[in-house]
Chains A and B, each alone.
Chain A
C-alpha cells in the first residue's frame, strides 16, 4: 500500500511490532492504522459531544 511516511520512535516501533503479532495483526502497519483510527474516532466522538452540548445549552436543556 502506498502512503505518506511518518517518523516514529524506534523503541515505540519495536514495541508496536511485538504487540501487533500478539494481538493478531498480520503487519505492524495494520496495527498502527487501527490504533490511530480508534484514537481519532474517540476525538471525533468528543467533537460531536461538544457540538451536541452547545446545541442543548442553546435550547436550555442543559446548564
Chain B
C-alpha cells in the first residue's frame, strides 16, 4: 500500500511489473526483480537509475543494500500475526511450503530479525529511516502521508497519497 501512496504522491516507482497483481495482492506487488538478488552480492549498478525514485525492498534484503548510495527508508511495521496469516494464505495459493518452521517459530525468528535490522539500520550512516505502522496507515492515512512527505522533503502530494488508502478502504467495505 505504501508504494501505491508514494507513486500517487508523485514519486516515480521503480518497478518492472513482472509479478502481476493476484488475489493476494490485487493492487500489484510493486517489485523489481533485481532487488530479489541483492543478497547474492552481484551487480547493483541498476541502483543508480533508482536515485530520487522509490523502490520496494523487503526488510530481509535491506542489510544487502550497498554502501555506495544514500537511502531514505520508509519502513512499514505490521503486526506479525497479520503478516504470518497473510503469508500462510499466499503460500497455500502458490503451492509452496515456505520451509519447515511453524508460524510460531517464524514469529520468533522474524521478531529477532526485525530487531537486528533496526539496530543495523541505526548504525548505518547512509540510511535514514522513518518507521510507519501499517494499521495507522489504514486508520489515519493523512497523518502518515504527512509524516512521509516531511521525511521525503515535502516532495509529495499528501491529498493524493491519502486518497489511495481511502479508495482502498472504500473498495474493501464494498466487497
Contact = CB atoms under 8 A, between A and B. Distances in A.
Interface string A33-57: 0000000000001001101111111
A53 B58 CA distance: 12
A5 B146 CA distance: 62
A58 B88 CA distance: 10
Main secondary structure of the interface of B (DSSP, over half): helix
Bin chain A's interface residue count: 10 to 19
Contacts of B60: 52-53, 56, 61-62
B113 A58 contact: no
B113 A63 contact: no
A11 interface: no
A52 B19 contact: no
A62 B105 contact: no
Contacts of A56: 58, 60
B94 A63 contact: no
Interface string B64-78: 000000000000000
B16 interface: no
B61 A62 contact: yes
A24 interface: no
A49 B108 CA distance: 12
Interface stretch (B35-43, B152-160, B167-175): B35-43
Interface in B76-117: 87, 90-91, 94, 96-101, 105-106, 108-110, 112-113
6 contacts: A48-B112, A54-B98, A57-B96, A57-B98, A59-B98, A62-B37
Interface of A: 45, 48-49, 51-63
Given A49-B113, A55-B87, A63-B37, 19 more contacts: A48-B113, A51-B105, A51-B109, A52-B109, A52-B113, A55-B101, A55-B106, A56-B58, A57-B98, A58-B91, A58-B97, A58-B98, A58-B99, A59-B94, A59-B98, A60-B19, A61-B60, A62-B60, A62-B61
